[in-house]
Structure 1
Amino acid sequence: MRSAHALAAGMLAALAAPASAETYLSVAAATDAYRTELAKSCSEVGSTLDVRPGFVREVDLNGDGVPDAILSTRYADCATAPAPFAFSGSSGEAARWVVSVPGGFETLEFVYQKVEIERSGGAPRITLSLPGGICGLGALDRCRHVIQLDGSRVVASAWSDGQARPEPTKATASPAASDPVPVMTADHNGSVMEIRDDRILYAEPKASLRGVVKPGTVLVEGKWTGDRFAGTAYAFKKGCPPASYAVSGAKVERPGQLDLVLRGAGPIRKGCEVVGYSDRSPHARLVFEKIMSE
């Protein structure tokens, strides 16, 4: 089962059912399991779980007449954490959908800004509001993705605001001389990165990434809260659109150096298609070592 750090990080699982959905006998059992996961993650940061009304939303998600549920972290927090810690962030709220299938219920993981469900007979039309970077728009924009479910499987989908574009890059890796944003550098798996306030981009990609990313390509964008960071990361594969997923983490002081460690359930691909998200993905842990100011 995923930790809450990863649940806050599983991005855009609406594109397909996760690689390994969990199965439960009832919505109540799935809800109890989710609360246990979130509580465990809160205990890891010395806190307790606070769940508010709205955490469970009963709704028929696949049109089979059996009540399903949306379990939303918008209504759950680590109440007494020593530093701000939330399961929802700038990329949206992490949610677990509990969907009826023959013999029980399966779970799906999503992250979105908002979800709207339109019932018109048969499977409901579900519209997800997502960060603009998913649709090739700006980081502060929003776009919509429309899906329908057959059991726990996504069987129909459409981008209301345009399909994702090939690469979320900035025009240049270096700002104008008048740019007031402080710049820091770090090493990431052999590539030199630049950390510019709310985004981390490739300054000098390593040789093995040639043809995949270029100087100026944004790897992570989001928001700082003290020494903690939460936002959207992009996984790159040659010839494929980038796969977005949410990450969060914090600066880590080590002897003689300062690092930034971000975690999030990374995308699993079949060809170019994202078929699920996993803590075991090679993209699930991003480490930026030896942070230095320029």
Structure 2
Amino acid sequence: MRRALAALALALPPAVPLTAAADDLPQPVAAAAARAEASCGSEPTTLKPGFITRQDVNGDAVPDFILDFAAVQCGDDESAACGTAGCEMQVFASTTDGFVDAFDAVAHDLRFRTVGGRPAVIVDMTGATCGRSGQDPCGAIAVWNGRTFGRTR
């Protein structure tokens, strides 16, 4: 796991560098990275660029962690963590208690905006996830409540 986490630190885009060594990731982020690696079983795991990005998503000026499991490669399978509904995406946001698991969903994309004056995540999903049929695109908005992004619609 140490090798995959070290590769993870190198895989981050230069615009959002990981200032701490991979071993210094906040505990919940490190645990999610370890879970991603373990999901490959005996296959070699590659955490490709884009697995972790940093962006302030809750408006406190502290860069948060966004994990996109589409960047987990198990052996030769480049999209092992994805299906027709999308890929797991997880957000760890900073709070006064440290980083918390603030959002976790299977989605095609996450975008962060302000909605009604509050930080929010706009989630692009596929029909079945939203109670629609098949591949019909749909979305949800989740608003920051100080601890998590709770879905509102």
Q: Same fold (TM over 0.5)?
A: yes
1:54 has 2:50 as partner: yes
Check conservation: 2:70, 2:79, Cα contact below 8 A: no
After TM superposition, the structure 1 = structure 2 runs for residues 168-187 of structure 1, keeping only pairs within 5 Å, are: none
> SS where residue 28 of structure 2 aligns?
helix
Partner of 1:142: 137
TM-score (norm 2): 0.71
**Which protein has greater RCO, CA pairs closer than 8 Å, 6+ apart?**
1
Partner of 1:71: 67
Partners of 2:130 and 2:151 in 1: how far apart? 18
Offset, 1:142: 0.9
Partner of 2:99: 105
Partners of 1:115 and 1:66 in 2: how far apart? 19
Closer, same or farther: CA 139–78 of 1 in aligned 2, 3 Å: same
Partners of 1:121 and 1:63 in 2: how far apart? 13
Check conservation: 2:93, 2:99, Cα contact below 8 A: yes
CA shift digits 1:63-111 (9 cap, x unpaired): 2222111111111121257xx8701111111122111121211113211
> SS where residue 124 of structure 1 aligns?
strand
> SS where residue 38 of structure 1 aligns?
helix
Partners of 2:147 and 2:73 in 1: how far apart? 27
Check conservation: 1:62, 1:152, Cα contact below 8 A: no
Partners of 2:25 and 2:144 in 1: how far apart? 17
Partners of 1:54 and 1:155 in 2: how far apart? 24
Runs of 4+ with >4 A deviation? 119-122
The one-letter code of the counterpart of 1:117 is F
Closer, same or farther: CA 139–155 of 1 in aligned 2, 3 Å: closer
Partner of 1:89: 83
After TM superposition, the structure 1 = structure 2 runs for residues 221-236 of structure 1, keeping only pairs within 5 Å, are: none
CA shift digits 1:153-182 (9 cap, x unpaired): 335612xxxxxxxxxxxxxxxxxxxxxxxx
The one-letter code of the counterpart of 1:68 is D
Closer, same or farther: CA 33–136 of 1 in aligned 2, 3 Å: closer
After TM superposition, the structure 1 = structure 2 runs for residues 179-218 of structure 1, keeping only pairs within 5 Å, are: none
**Structure 1: which 5+ runs fail to align?**
1-25, 159-294
Offset, 1:62: 1.8
In terms of fraction of residues, the more strand-rich structure is: 1
Partner of 2:11: none
Give the one of 36, 41, 45 matched to 2:34. Answer: 36
Check conservation: 1:99, 1:151, Cα contact below 8 A: no
**CA-based RMSD:** 2.5
**Structure 2: which 5+ runs fail to align?**
1-23
Q: Give the length in aligned residue pairs.
A: 129
Offset, 1:122: 5.1
Partners of 1:85 and 1:75 in 2: how far apart? 7
Offset, 1:119: 4.2
Q: Which has the larger radius of gyration?
A: 1
TM-score (norm 1): 0.39
Offset, 1:149: 0.9
Check conservation: 2:59, 2:119, Cα contact below 8 A: yes
Check conservation: 2:71, 2:79, Cα contact below 8 A: no
Q: Percent identity?
A: 25
Closer, same or farther: CA 66–78 of 1 in aligned 2, 3 Å: same
In terms of fraction of residues, the more helix-rich structure is: 2
